[in-house]
Amino acid sequence: MSEKIYPGFDIGGTKIGIGLISESGKFIAGERIDNVNTKPEDILPRLVTIVKKMIAENNISTDDIPAFGVSTPGPADIPNGIITAPPNNPYWRNVPLLKYLEDNLEIKGYFENDANAAAIAEGYFGAGKGTKDYIYLTMSTGIGAGIVTNGTLVQGTGFYGGEFGHTILHRNGRQCNCGLKGCYEAYCGGRAVADDLRRKLADKTESRIMQIAGSAENIDMKALAQAVRENDPFALEYWDEMIQNNAQAMGSLINIMNPAKLILGTFVWATGDLFLAPLKKYIVNYAWKEMLDQCDIVPSQLRQDIGYYAGSAVALYNTEKNA
Q: What does the binding site for Zn ion look like in residue numbers (CB under 5 A)? A: 166, 176, 178, 180, 183
Q: Is residue 75 reached through a cis peptide bond, with omega within 30 degrees of 0 on the bond before it?
A: yes
CB of 175 to Zn ion, least distance (A): 9
- CB nearer Zn ion, residue 4 or residue 174: 174
CB of 230 to Zn ion, least distance (A): 31
- CB nearer Zn ion, residue 29 or residue 176: 176
Residues 189 and 142: beta-carbon distance below 8 Å: yes
Residues 47 and 16: beta-carbon distance below 8 Å: yes
**DSSP codes joined into one string, 93-159:** SSB-HHHHHHHHHTS-EEEEEHHHHHHHHHHHHSTTTT-SSEEEE--SSS--EEEEETTEE---TTS
- CB nearer Zn ion, residue 29 or residue 183: 183
Long-range contacts of 81-85 (CB under 8 A, 24+ apart): 81/109, 81/111, 83/11
**How far, in whole angstroms, is CA 202 from its chain's centroid?**
30
In this structure, the number of other CB atoms found within 10 A of the CB of residue 22 comes to 17
CB of 169 to Zn ion, least distance (A): 10
Report the distance separating Cα 39 and Cα 10, nearest Å. Answer: 16
For the chain, how big is the Rg over CA atoms in Å?
Answer: 20
- CB nearer Zn ion, residue 10 or residue 185: 185
Q: 52-71 as b/e, with b when 16 or more CB fall inside 10 Å?
A: eebbeeeebeeeebbbbbbb
- CB nearer Zn ion, residue 178 or residue 202: 178
Query: How many alpha carbons lie under 13 Å from residue 124 in its C-beta half-sphere?
Result: 27
CB of 231 to Zn ion, least distance (A): 32
CB of 179 to Zn ion, least distance (A): 7
CB of 84 to Zn ion, least distance (A): 18
Query: How many alpha carbons lie under 13 Å from residue 202 in its C-beta half-sphere?
Result: 3
SS3 content of the chain, % helix, strand, coil (to 5): 45, 20, 35
CB of 114 to Zn ion, least distance (A): 16
Q: 220-249 as b/e, with b when 16 or more CB fall inside 10 Å?
A: bbbbbbbbbeeebebbeebbeebbbbbbbb
- CB nearer Zn ion, residue 60 or residue 188: 188
- CB nearer Zn ion, residue 166 or residue 208: 166
CB of 289 to Zn ion, least distance (A): 30
- CB nearer Zn ion, residue 180 or residue 260: 180
